[in-house]
Structure 1
Amino acid sequence: MSSQSVSARTARSAPPGPPRRKTVKLLAQLFTDRLALMSESAEGYGDVVRIAIGPKAMYLVNHPELAKHVLADNSANYHKGIGLQEARRALGDGLLTSDGETWRAQRRTIQPVFQPKRISRQAAIVASEVDGLVRRLAAHRGPVEILHEMTGLTLGVLGKTLLDAELGGYETLGHSFEAVQDQAMFEAVTLSMVPEWAPLPKQLRFRSARDDLRRIADELVEKRLADPVEGGEDVLSRLIASAGDDVDGARERMRDELITLLLAGHETTASTLGWAFHLIDEHPEVGERLHAEAVEVLGDRLPGHEDLRKLRYTTMVVEEVMRLYPPVWLLPRVAQGDDEIGGYHVPAGSDVVVVPYTLHRHPEFWTDPERFDPGRFDPDNPAGRPRYAYIPFGAGPRFCIGNSLGVMEAVFVLAMASRDLRLRKVPGYQVVPEAMLSLRVRGGLPMTVDARVGRSDEETRPRAA
């Protein structure tokens, strides 16, 4: 389908959507339950929905072919949209928020860092970091906040694999990114009508967080300039090399790139792992299959890149977790010119959102879509569903650049943790999704940790691969 294939004049004037009398409810959901807003709209009005709230109208797209149109076939007509526009105040024009030639130049600079051969060489680093995490968890007494642990892990992996740098000394990173997400969504739902200078607690936290992130990014650049890596293949080295003789003039650009990479590179994987541990706890039989596969494939050693294809069930679990709780739950765009989507006219300037959260639950493409069933992704039994029915990493030219590293990290964590540990949610704790820039567990995930019977500290000490 192309925006040129059918004239906008022949398209129906507007898709269906909630009536104006529901504005108060829609506003409340926009502030407090964005997932319910998207789900109820898709269920009630179909695959293209116009959601009008006040002076704004948002077009929800919820069909694989229509998602393909927006994200791939006519991607040039769609720039980054709601939420990401507001995040630009903290992230600047990094890879996540930029468009056009700026984005293409950034992608060319960073792409080589994510080449499959280079990522495969990082497997030993990832496994070592995960090993350290599993040991810390095994030694812990009492409940542990698992999302905090996952954030620390993913930041550590990101630093060593992509930046060739230690991030252990930057304990404030996780909290600063939370403040950035909170502010971006606050601005999105208030249509940026609250001025930045207003002395609200949320605004004050955001300004402090933005200053903290800029300081950390600048420090990372300065450290690398003081101690360059000859022929370095990491992001820091490539950013500095791309600046040529004008490093001072490129500092703001490098800062934007690093802040964006730090956020996108750790938040999505940490969120996926949090949801994985929640779902495994809800389905003990899945945990037992994960344990059995890890023991069979790995024994007592650390995993290597070649083990990814052998950890089939573990990979299926990761894929099903990302179906139910895609870390990037919303792909917002702004139409640059008039378009036609699903037979409906979409005017230039419209907010158009592809929602993986609802697309991954579309009953036409997923049987019993609310059920957690890793078997959906069994490679021996392909379901034959459309490619764009499952887009946890986005799609089209802006497909997530770090998907391979994120999947490898998640598979290693689930395999090694399931082999050696049992993690259980604190009794009575209610897990509630929070749809921010990423889809995370609201308020954290406290869990108790027990070593598996017969696997003492010495018995769980992996031997060299």
Structure 2
Amino acid sequence: MTSGAETTRGARLAPPGPPRRATFGLLKKLFTDRLALMSDSAEAHGDVVRIAIGPKTMYLVNHPELAKHVLADNAANYHKGIGLQEARRALGDGLLTSDGDVWKKQRRTIQPVFQPKRIARQASVVANEVEGLVKHLRDTEGPVEILHEMTGLTLGVLGKTLLDADLGGFTSLGHSFEAVQDQAMFEAVTLSMVPQWAPLKKQLRFKESRDDLRRIAEELVEQRLANPIEGGEDVLSRLIATDGTREQMRDELITLLLAGHETTASTLGWAFHLLDEHPDVAAKLRAEADEVLGDQLPTHDDLHRLPYTARVVEEVMRLYPPVWLLPRVAQADDEIGGYHIPAGSDVVVVPYTLHRHPDFWPDPEKFDPDRFDPDRPSGRPRYAYIPFGAGPRFCIGNSLGVMEAVFVLTMVLRDLELRKLPGYEVVPEAMLSLRVRGGLPMTVHTRNRR
């Protein structure tokens, strides 16, 4: 192919993209810098890009209206794709990886747990968990690995709010999910050409982690079966009430444990990094926390009284959307932006690049929470900002995740200052979620609020 659009068989126009001679460079980026692969392709070739790497061809979609077409208007034609297909080996057919009628049934089962009134009732649980985190950080000597702390927090919140269970005893969860993500992405970028039986260290670690996650999920089910909650509204109770198989309950729990903690933990890690880089933003957030909360814990009603903190969370998710890639597979031929998309093609909507599209985001690399100020007209299309996905598969837990992130930032910054270690380089790592490579060590300083 050439770098420009070309006509395919039957006079159908194929999108532009990198030439075949660029395959080696593309392959290198696929392994080492997937964000650059997507960003550079969009910058060079436009809003629909055909990226051919060896036997694999994928189509990058980078415009709000075209993203709407894939994710909402013609969603039935696009099933889950690259990365999530590979994750199915560990997650099974949970809500994240399933399609069709199976997915619809799972969504109906889980949806009531996330009803707004029920989530509002969980605010005190979230605030108490964050209060425990603040006390822990204050008492810690030396640097803390903030991503590890956020993982522990978000798992604790997930257990108490969604499962009505204490996950504190399952200390291996975070490490096991990390191994699952690593393996899923490894299989995706190697096109699953490495045999699963090959005794590679990465694959052995994956198998151990998959077994660990299954053990934990099955133990949670056994605990609830032995101690049922009459009229329970939590996920465990609802899964048991559906009379699904043990395997189905296990898959759903593993999926929920991953999706329910990883995205919020990742967002909080990026937030602490950006707030350390931008002390003026941190100062505004602290001033709002002092004024609204004083010495009290936040309530659900306080969310609308913390608008600046909410804008900080929105801007963090614009620059570093936890779900940076929304992969799909076209079930039938389609046309996107005037270009032909063959059936069976991998189509990717990339929030990371879409959130930086210069036509919709002035000065897109700048960290500016006030770009989400409702009094500042933006004129942006709805699908220019999709940190929680869009269409039928819009993230079911978005309201809980935002409440948790707002509570963490306002309570931590009210009482503490977190500073990155001098000279520490923060590098994004695009796995199933967008995380900080190698963690985020920070020092903790108690704030004098006189």
Describe how 1:238-257 pairs up with structure 2 within 5 A. 238-243=238-243, 250-257=245-252
1:12 deviation in Å? Answer: 4.0
Q: Give the equivalent residue in structure 1 for 2:180.
A: 180
1:105 counterpart letter in structure 2:
K
Describe how 1:157-306 pairs up with structure 2 within 5 A. 157-243=157-243, 250-306=245-301
Q: Distance in 2 between matches of 1:64 and 1:222?
A: 45
Q: Distance in 1 between matches of 2:418 and 2:449?
A: 16
Q: Give the equivalent residue in structure 1 for 2:125.
A: 125
Q: Give the equivalent residue in structure 1 for 2:414.
A: 419
Q: Give the equivalent residue in structure 2 for 1:43.
A: 43
1:398 counterpart letter in structure 2:
R
Q: Distance in 2 between matches of 1:40 and 1:159?
A: 40
Q: Give the equivalent residue in structure 2 for 1:460.
A: none
Provide closer, same or farther for how the CA distance between residues 451 and 41 of structure 1 changes in structure 2, counting only shifts above 3 A.
same
Q: Give the equivalent residue in structure 2 for 1:372.
A: 367
2:84 counterpart letter in structure 1:
L
Task: Say which SS state the counterpart of residue 444 (structure 1) adopts.
Answer: coil
Q: Distance in 2 between matches of 1:404 and 1:146?
A: 23
Task: Say which SS state the counterpart of residue 13 (structure 2) adopts.
Answer: coil
Q: Distance in 1 between matches of 2:446 and 2:374?
A: 32
Count of matched residue pairs: 443
1:24 deviation in Å? Answer: 0.4
1:381 deviation in Å? Answer: 1.8
Q: Give the equivalent residue in structure 1 for 2:4.
A: none
Deviates more, 1:381-390 or 1:308-317: 381-390
Q: Give the equivalent residue in structure 2 for 1:3.
A: none
Q: Distance in 2 between matches of 1:384 and 1:117?
A: 31
Q: Distance in 1 between matches of 2:380 and 2:10?
A: 30
Is contact 2:323–2:388 with CA below 8 Å preserved after alignment?
yes
The two structures, once aligned, show a CA RMSD in angstroms of 1.1
1:315 and 2:310 correspond:
yes
Is contact 2:151–2:174 with CA below 8 Å preserved after alignment?
yes
Is contact 1:12–1:343 with CA below 8 Å preserved after alignment?
no
Q: Distance in 2 between matches of 1:294 and 1:449?
A: 18
Q: Distance in 2 between matches of 1:369 and 1:282?
A: 17
Q: Give the equivalent residue in structure 2 for 1:351.
A: 346
1:449 and 2:447 correspond:
no
Percent identity at matched positions?
A: 82
Deviates more, 1:435-444 or 1:376-385: 376-385
Q: Distance in 1 between matches of 2:183 and 2:442?
A: 28
1:152 counterpart letter in structure 2:
G
2:271 counterpart letter in structure 1:
A
Is contact 1:64–1:359 with CA below 8 Å preserved after alignment?
yes
Segments of 4+ in structure 1 off by > 6 A? 8-11
Task: Say which SS state the counterpart of residue 309 (structure 1) adopts.
Answer: helix
Is contact 2:13–2:338 with CA below 8 Å preserved after alignment?
no
Is contact 1:146–1:445 with CA below 8 Å preserved after alignment?
yes
1:437 and 2:432 correspond:
yes
1:382 deviation in Å? Answer: 3.4
TM-score, scaled relative to structure 2:
0.97
1:142-183: per-residue Cα shift (whole Å, max 9, x none)? 100000000000000000000000000000000000000000
Task: Say which SS state the counterpart of residue 183 (structure 1) adopts.
Answer: helix
1:62 and 2:57 correspond:
no
**Which segments of 5 or more consecutive residues in structure 2 lack a partner in the other structure?**
1-7
Task: Say which SS state the counterpart of residue 191 (structure 1) adopts.
Answer: coil
1:258 counterpart letter in structure 2:
L
1:68 counterpart letter in structure 2:
K
1:408 counterpart letter in structure 2:
M
Q: Give the equivalent residue in structure 2 for 1:4.
A: none
